[in-house]
């Protein structure tokens, strides 16, 4: 595609197909995203429609597409070299009158004209794509940038050809304009080639991820290590991963320990320690230890492939702001053609020569740039989504990136989002024997799978306390647990349970109040009916939560915490991280109602969560954010997936959205202003005041048109240097 008019033509062609629901053709990365009913049409029919519209498609795996794009780039380079090789001498010949002492160049005009014609023909051939694509699009009623170049250069070449014929039969003729046609083709080709190279750079995130998948894997087959192509690895294979290797598949370590660099997934530079039972992911880099793993995800089932797919999907969609440029681009080329013809007619009627008037027509056709308008949004979106992916933030579509810039309210879940999501023992008090308190509690809790039970057992291990065996374990629904340890009946539970068994816990009343004031959950332990002590458990606040909340506020949004925890616990956590508004004791459906109520107030709401109970609120919100360790349903309901549980990614996503939309607006401004100024100048506005040389205008116009597209692409690439303040090192 040469400009957004091409994208519009393909969209209209596909939308007319039976069974097609939605089409988004992205000029920035040449991707067509089509939603269709497979019972009514299929991919082959869609490809046939695209080809009938005058375009070709590339299919296959990422490597096949990359090879095809590389070949296209080489072809463009070959044609450009031919154009430059012949345009330079043609331009020098056109300046023949400036070369004193070489009479035949100026005196033998018919010979000079024939030489220029012969030199110009290879340049026209090198620019054949403009005619092959431009004229069919024009005749089909969907003119594009190629149509403008084809019309402009054809007018220039045919006018020069007419004058050549006049000279050959001895008739007077105006100046030759072969060099104008050649210079236009060459300069536009230079711009398109540089534009194509720059567009590849904007998609560097996806290309870098594609290279992370290793070509081979070491598989254990019948007890022997065999190196096989990565395509032959299947689920259930046992793989040997050596130090320094890239991990070939998603899997679980079954023996060995190491540390793994997962920066490609999470954006975190510090290696993550891995041991038996831990998950590892394709494309990440093993550290100094070797290990054996069992694959549970290969090929398209790996997280790496899902990330690539998500980025490509996001880059293939359109942000709402792109509709402005699309509407303008839809009528841009026809309006330019009408303007060019009108300007030519006005100059002829005003008494100017045909040569002058045709030069104005050519200049208007060539200087107009629908490319800049078409590139303004998709280039920034492509860079923005790739830049976010580098930092472990995956936007599912371009619309989500735009919405992230406008969020004014952020609703946060407490457990697993603001807090670590796993309880820890934070206090243990005994008037008798603290060590025995922990040992007895851990012994009974070792028979339970409850998270709090696991926290108690883990705490005993950290304290170096030996856990005795137990018998007769039973859980008390909503109350606690009981069991027999060393012949003693040990009961663990709430004040209500202690009262039921007749255990007096009054001596621990002050401790209980102290734990409650610090947002801790506590329970009592009794031994043969006598109080042994009190243990407090809490879900620790993430160390980065306070900073993340402050950055959300700095980005102009209010933070609201909605949690199912009691008011005392919720308020204590809110005070610690700086949240002013809290909704506590919330049932799963309450969070959804909070979001709806905020939206009725005209708020633009983002919701961050990690659980199934968050899914309805995530779906209802204007922007749903799910953390990577959340459930699949939460991720399916979200617009943004954060590959880490670091909630600084929440304000970072807002900052990335703002930076990208700012870049989009800059690009649109540059594109609109360029065309607003350039077209009147090319139409002869300056000549009314005696400024400028008309003969040079077509060449200047071609250079300006190419420069405008490159300016937009370069501005988009500048976005790659942006670093969200929320993720800056502390």
* Residue with tokens 């398109």, as numbered in its chain: 192
Contact present, 558 and 589 (Cβ < 8 Å): no
* Residue with tokens 């506005």, as numbered in its chain: 685
Strands (E), 494-529: 521-527
Closest CA to 260 of 247, 248, 249, 251: 247
Strands 250-256 and 279-280, sheet pairing: antiparallel
What does each C-alpha distance from 558 to 433, 587, 605, 678 come to in angstroms?
48, 22, 10, 45
Pull the structure tokens for residue 145: 């940038």
3-state secondary structure of 289: coil
Contact present, 146 and 54 (Cβ < 8 Å): no
Going by the DSSP 8-state scheme, the letter that residue 541 receives in this structure is B
Pull the structure tokens for residue 715: 């501005």
Contact present, 454 and 482 (Cβ < 8 Å): no
What does each C-alpha distance from 467 to 474, 525, 537, 620 come to in angstroms?
18, 15, 19, 48
User: Could you give the CA distance from residue 232 to residue 248 in angstroms, rounded to a whole number?
Assistant: 11
String of DSSP letters for 639-666:
SEEESSS-TTHHHHHHHHHHHHHHHHHH
Q: What is the largest CA-CA distance in the chain?
A: 126
User: Could you give the CA distance from residue 147 to residue 131 in angstroms, rounded to a whole number?
Assistant: 7
Query: What sections of 169-251 are H helices per DSSP?
Result: 178-202, 204-210
**In sequence order, what are the beta bridge partners of 279?**
252
User: Could you give the CA distance from residue 203 to residue 307 in angstroms, rounded to a whole number?
Assistant: 14
User: Could you give the CA distance from residue 263 to residue 250 in angstroms, rounded to a whole number?
Assistant: 15
Active site residue ranges: 413
User: Could you give the CA distance from residue 383 to residue 233 in angstroms, rounded to a whole number?
Assistant: 33
**In sequence order, what are the beta bridge partners of 203?**
none
Closest CA to 644 of 636, 657, 653: 653
String of DSSP letters for 393-420:
EEESSHHHHHHHTT--EEEEEIIIIIB-
User: Could you give the CA distance from residue 373 to residue 332 in angstroms, rounded to a whole number?
Assistant: 10
Sheet-wide strand order for 640-642: 393-395, 640-642, 623-627, 605-609, 409-413, 558-562, 581-583
Number of H helices and E strands in the chain, helices first, is 26, 24
User: Could you give the CA distance from residue 595 to residue 613 in angstroms, rounded to a whole number?
Assistant: 14
Sheet-wide strand order for 272-274: 272-274, 258-261, 285-286
What does each C-alpha distance from 695 to 210, 240, 465 come to in angstroms?
49, 70, 93
User: Could you give the CA distance from residue 332 to residue 705 in angstroms, rounded to a whole number?
Assistant: 14
Pull the structure tokens for residue 347: 């100059």
| 505: number of Cβ within 10 Å | 17
Contact present, 336 and 679 (Cβ < 8 Å): yes
User: Could you give the CA distance from residue 494 to residue 509 in angstroms, rounded to a whole number?
Assistant: 13
Pull the structure tokens for residue 524: 């009592």
């Amino acid at each position: 595609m040469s400009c957004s008019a091409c994208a519009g033509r393909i969209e209209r062609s596909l939308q007319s197909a039976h069974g097609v629901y939605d089409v988004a053709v992205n000029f920035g990365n040449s991707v067509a995203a089509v939603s269709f009913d497979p019972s009514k049409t299929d991919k082959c029919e869609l490809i046939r429609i695209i080809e009938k519209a005058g375009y070709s498609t590339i299919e296959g795996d990422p490597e096949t597409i990359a090879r095809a794009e590389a070949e296209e780039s080489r072809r463009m380079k070959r044609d450009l070299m031919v154009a430059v090789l012949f345009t330079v001498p043609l331009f020098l010949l056109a300046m023949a009158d400036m070369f004193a002492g070489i009479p035949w160049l100026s005196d033998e005009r018919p010979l000079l004209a024939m030489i220029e014609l012969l030199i110009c023909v290879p340049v026209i051939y090198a620019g054949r794509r403009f005619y092959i694509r431009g004229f069919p699009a024009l005749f089909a009623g969907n003119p594009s940038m190629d149509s403008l170049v084809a019309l402009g250069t054809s007018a220039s070449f045919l006018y020069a050809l007419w004058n050549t014929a006049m000279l050959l039969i001895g008739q007077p003729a105006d100046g030759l304009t072969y060099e104008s046609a050649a210079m236009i083709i060459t300069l536009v080709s230079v711009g398109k080639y540089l534009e194509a190279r720059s567009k590849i750079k904007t998609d560097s995130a996806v290309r870098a991820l594609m290279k992370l998948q290793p070509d081979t894997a070491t598989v254990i087959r019948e007890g022997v290590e065999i190196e096989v192509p990565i395509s032959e690895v299947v689920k259930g294979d046992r793989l040997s991963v050596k130090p320094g290797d890239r991990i070939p598949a998603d899997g679980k370590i079954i023996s060995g320990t190491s540390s793994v660099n997962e920066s490609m997934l999470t954006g975190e530079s510090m290696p993550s320690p891995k041991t038996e039972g831990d998950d590892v992911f394709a494309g990440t880099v093993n550290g100094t230890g070797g290990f054996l793993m069992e694959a549970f995800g290969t090929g398209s089932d790996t997280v790496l492939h899902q990330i690539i797919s998500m980025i490509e999907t996001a880059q293939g969609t359109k942000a709402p702001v792109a509709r402005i440029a699309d509407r303008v681009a839809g009528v841009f080329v026809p309006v330019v053609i009408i303007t060019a013809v009108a300007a030519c007619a006005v100059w002829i009627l005003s008494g100017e020569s045909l040569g002058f008037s045709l030069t104005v027509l050519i200049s208007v056709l060539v200087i107009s740039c629908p490319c800049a308008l078409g590139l303004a949004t998709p280039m920034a979106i492509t860079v923005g989504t790739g830049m976010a992916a580098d930092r472990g933030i995956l936007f599912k579509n371009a619309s989500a990136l735009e919405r992230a810039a406008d969020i004014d309210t952020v609703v946060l879940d407490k457990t697993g989002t603001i807090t670590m999501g796993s309880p820890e023992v934070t206090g243990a008090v005994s008037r008798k024997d603290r060590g025995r308190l922990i040992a007895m509690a851990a012994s009974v809790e070792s028979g339970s799978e409850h998270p709090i039970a696991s926290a108690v057992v883990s705490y005993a291990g950290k304290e170096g306390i030996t856990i005795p065996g137990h018998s007769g374990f039973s859980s008390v629904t909503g109350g606690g647990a009981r069991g027999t340890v060393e012949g003693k009946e040990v009961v663990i539970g709430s004040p209500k349970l202690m009262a039921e068994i007749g255990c007096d816990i009054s001596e621990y009343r002050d401790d209980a109040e102290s734990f409650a004031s610090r947002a801790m959950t506590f329970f009592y332990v009794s031994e043969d009916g006598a109080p042994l002590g009190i243990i407090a458990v809490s879900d620790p606040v993430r160390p980065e939560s306070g900073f993340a909340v402050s950055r959300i506020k700095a980005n102009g949004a209010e933070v609201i915490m909605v949690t199912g925890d009691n008011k005392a616990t919720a308020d204590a956590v809110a005070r610690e991280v700086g949240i002013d508004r809290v909704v506590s004791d919330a049932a799963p459906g309450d969070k959804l109602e909070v979001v709806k109520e905020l939206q009725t107030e005209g708020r633009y709401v983002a919701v961050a969560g990690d659980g199934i109970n968050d899914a309805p609120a995530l779906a209802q919100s204007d922007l749903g954010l799910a953390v990577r360790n959340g459930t699949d349903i939460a991720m399916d309901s979200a617009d943004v997936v954060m590959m880490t549980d670091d909630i600084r990614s929440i304000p970072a996503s807002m900052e990335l959205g703002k930076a990208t939309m700012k870049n989009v607006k800059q690009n649109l401004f540059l594109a609109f202003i360029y065309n607003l100024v350039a077209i009147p100048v090319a139409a002869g506005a300056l000549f009314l005041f005696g400024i400028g040389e008309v003969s040079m205008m077509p060449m200047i116009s071609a250079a300006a048109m190419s420069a405008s597209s490159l300016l937009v692409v370069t501005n988009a690439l500048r976005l790659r240097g942006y670093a969200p303040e929320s993720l800056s090192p502390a």
